[in-house]
A and B are shown apart, each in its own frame.
Chain A
């Protein structure tokens, strides 16, 4: 009897044509995504490129600006300075971070997660916070000034130390991943063949992590070359590319020359991006799906040695950042060390006062919410819908592009694009909107990769099943895809939020009278000599970023564990 019902009930309905053309909707959405990415990424970069081959009046001059750049010793010197500082920092950071990552992944050192967290601290602060700390430690009033033996911390020494601290977690994250991807069976085979530890390290550990090392080196190099905050605070008379670009555009209003510096800044970043892509493909191929993860065995001497090492390195990082926090509570360094909150009355140091912090909060929250929605929906359209392959390929290309573009360069592109008289969008210049858009574009790629990875892990046939059940894809997107990917979506939101709070380089060109951000206020307070207030503002930002991350962890633990009961057996 039930079979009769089964065969007859929806017969009539099955003949109905679908109500809305899903393919048309999908095509329009993908087109829209492409358009958004063109406006927020491609066009600003294109305008920057064309600016670099124009004179101040907009006439085409070919490569003349580049010729001027390379024949002006003062400009050319900063290119050399940037490369020297970046190379030195890379040579220091990568071995230090490798040993630290080794301690975290290949030993049985106690309190690993504590040491991991300690080393990640710099990620939650604007880059220039480490430079501010160094001012207190090695500066003219610094308590360790004698340790520099007469040399000044203002200049290459200060830049390199500050960059080492700032870049350490970025290198560490890559190297921890590289060292975690190891096949334990290789070590068992080596042990069975009675191989010495030195030989195991040389023939298995290092080759296994070599792509991670290469990738970390390029990432650090690029971070240093394109970082603006640290050389701005502690560079003194030592010019580098990033500060040059700022001076050309903000100081001298020489836009073509600013564009040239931007184009030169693009070179190491694009190179690093290309190497990273190449290396990642090989890294994945290195590890078969049958690999057994490596489990370190107890070795008390080794574990103790690495514990001491991690305590020193992790301790130095925490101490440096702690120094800035402490200094922000001190009445008058170094003469009156009594604690006070007066440095937190920002109105005394800078006209916008706390307003810039609330601007930052608002901007970061908007970037997190809008950015996450756009990035995740975009990644879904690119990854899961089968229509409009050209559009999806184009959008994928643009989504990967920001990784190869330093913030400062993107910021310059935004200045030229959103400030241009011919651009109808120029009403946005100086508004919070343009800051939000710029921040989303700046951090698009990492968020996009996170979303894509999460989407790739879910069954590829959900869309096919929905289509067979005549359920439109947007319904499956909201009812199934988004709930499943909630952890990744939260990750993206926190990533956007933290980076929006701490970024300086790209927004420094874009803020308006009413939209100054906290990170920019720090630069201005440092410029005007109220270093304690600058440290205080940086502390507030760092505290906010850490709070956001902790809240994320807590949410993950308490709320989502319960909501996502379906993940457990």
Chain B
């Protein structure tokens, strides 16, 4: 990739009094890319977005947009459009006036503005709503208007601050597909903040997972899901069950009395305390034979019905540091006649066993 990044952030830090909201953030976003900042509330994702916009300027660090250093530039000099969770539509103006708000200032003719407003409203799927006021629209419609308003001045960067969080579940799913399709058609570089991992996985080209003011991992949705860089990322994106374990040798782990083989032990020396992570859908149940690699006899301790599948808590017959969590499809439940108290033979595929550093505070070496 030879093209310089469209958005470049280097060494960015921001404090609110004694609280450090962002520390040493480095990030590059390519032209036309859709990037999601994902993390729990208070992780600094919104602060980072507002720093990019120039709304809450950073103390340290450089922000470049399209090769231009805008670190100290006011928001109006940065060329972006922004959409907020609250829509922030002007309630006393009509839909058309809202969308045209940024155009009026540019000495455009009334006819030209009208044509562009029409074009934008058609683009977001709201034709014929010009004369209405925001209160007369549903939440989803209001957010479309806000999107049209943000795109009206044809910014080269679109910033979305939790744009879907205030909407109903169904509307949210439909609108997220539409936003993604629109973004691809226009090719506008987009940064979206969200705390919803499903939203981030569904929409983003790349996800930036943040926690406590630092970036935990940057990667495509598949990379983030399949190869989480830390226990935090693994836990935050998708479900994962964790067991305390110790490295028993090369590619060998022991949790309690259970010995397991893994594919990647991260080169940790024997005796290192680790956390072992396992996604619930990766546990194999069908066709497991005694003597298979990592085969474990378990008892179904508890079943939680979640509609299309059941989440099961499995207690291994040998002693382990805790139970395993597995997702069973409705099919599998029927075929194997799974019920609470039922004994099963399962296998933990070596490639599904992920080794993480233990949480801070736990000593690194076993006695």
Write the residues of chain A forming the contact surface with B, with a CB cutoff of 8 angstroms: 2-3, 5-11, 13-15, 17-18, 21-23, 386, 459-462, 464-472, 475-476, 479-480, 483-484, 564-569
Contacts and interface: CB of A to CB of B under 8 A. Distances in A.
B88 A461 contact: yes
9 contacts: A2-B122, A386-B56, A462-B88, A462-B90, A467-B74, A468-B76, A470-B105, A475-B105, A567-B91
B203 interface: no
Nearest to A469: B102
Contact of B101 (A14, A21, A23, A469): A469
Nearest to B57: A386
B6 interface: no
Contacts of A15: 79
A22 B50 CA distance: 18
Contacts of A564: 92
A468 B106 CA distance: 13
A470 B153 contact: yes
Contact of B91 (A9, A469, A484): A484
B156 A14 contact: yes
A568 B102 contact: no
Nearest to B85: A461
Given A23-B74, A464-B88, A484-B92, 17 more contacts: A6-B151, A6-B186, A14-B79, A21-B74, A459-B84, A464-B50, A464-B53, A464-B84, A466-B101, A467-B53, A468-B159, A469-B81, A470-B76, A471-B105, A566-B92, A567-B135, A569-B135
Nearest to A462: B88
A96 B360 CA distance: 63
Interface in B83-111: 84, 86-88, 90-93, 101-102, 104-106
B154 A468 contact: no
Residue among A5, A6, A386, A468 facing the most chain B CB atoms (10 A cut-off)? A468
Nearest to B115: A5
B185 to A, nearest CB: 6
A268 to B, nearest CB: 35
Contacts of B188: 7
B282 to A, nearest CB: 41
Nearest to B78: A468
Interface in B140-186: 149-156, 159, 185-186
Contacts of A566: 91-93, 133-135
Contact of A10 (B75, B90, B91, B106): B106
B55 A467 contact: yes
Nearest to A467: B75
Nearest to A20: B76
Given A469-B101, A480-B92, A566-B92, A464 B79 contact: no
Given A461-B84, A464-B55, A17 B77 contact: yes
A468 B146 CA distance: 12
A22 B74 contact: yes
Interface in B16-63: 50, 53-56
Which 7 A/B pairs are nearest by Cβ-Cβ distance?
A469-B102, A467-B75, A461-B88, A566-B133, A18-B76, A468-B82, A14-B79
Contacts of A565: 133
A10 B77 contact: no
A455 to B, nearest CB: 14
Given A2-B123, A469-B101, A470-B105, A11 B154 contact: yes
B102 A470 contact: yes
Contacts of A23: 74
A467 B154 CA distance: 15
B80 interface: yes
B53 to A, nearest CB: 7
B264 interface: no
A18 B154 contact: no
Nearest to B50: A464
Contacts of A5: 119
B53 A9 contact: no
B81 A6 contact: no
Contacts of B365: none
Contact of A469 (B54, B86, B105, B187): B105
Given A461-B84, A468-B53, A468-B80, A7 B154 contact: yes
Contact of B152 (A21, A469, A476, A479): A469
B149 A469 contact: yes
Contacts of B93: 479-480, 566
Interface string B109-135: 000000010010011000000000111
A14 B135 contact: no
Contacts of B79: 14-15
B80 A3 contact: no
A479 B101 CA distance: 10
B187 A7 contact: yes
A5 to B, nearest CB: 7
Nearest to B106: A13
Contacts of B154: 6-11, 14
Contacts of B106: 10, 13, 470
Nearest to A471: B105
Nearest to A468: B82
B35 to A, nearest CB: 18
Residue among B56, B76, B79, B152 facing the most chain A CB atoms (10 A cut-off)? B76
Contacts of A2: 119, 122-123
B59 to A, nearest CB: 14
Contacts of B74: 18, 21-23, 467
A470 B91 CA distance: 19
A260 B351 CA distance: 85
Given A469-B153, A480-B93, A3 B185 contact: yes
B17 to A, nearest CB: 12
B76 A7 contact: no
B215 to A, nearest CB: 24
A468 B84 CA distance: 12
A566 B188 CA distance: 33
A125 B50 CA distance: 51
Contact of B84 (A21, A465, A467): A465
Residue among B104, B105, B151 facing the most chain A CB atoms (10 A cut-off)? B105
Contacts of B135: 566-569
Residue among B55, B80, B91, B149 facing the most chain A CB atoms (10 A cut-off)? B91
Contacts of B104: 471
A467 B76 contact: yes
B367 to A, nearest CB: 51
Residue among B77, B84, B136, B156 facing the most chain A CB atoms (10 A cut-off)? B77
A3 B106 CA distance: 20
A479 B105 CA distance: 12
A464 B82 contact: yes
Contact of B81 (A7, A468, A472): A468
Contact of B86 (A10, A459, A484, A569): A459
A22 B186 contact: no
A152 B56 CA distance: 67
Given A6-B151, A565-B133, A18 B187 contact: no
A465 B101 CA distance: 10
A466 B93 CA distance: 14
A483 B75 contact: no
A14 B155 contact: yes
A21 B73 CA distance: 11
A483 B90 CA distance: 10
A7 B156 CA distance: 8
B101 A471 contact: yes
Interface in B194-245: none
A461 B160 CA distance: 13
Contacts of B186: 3, 6-7
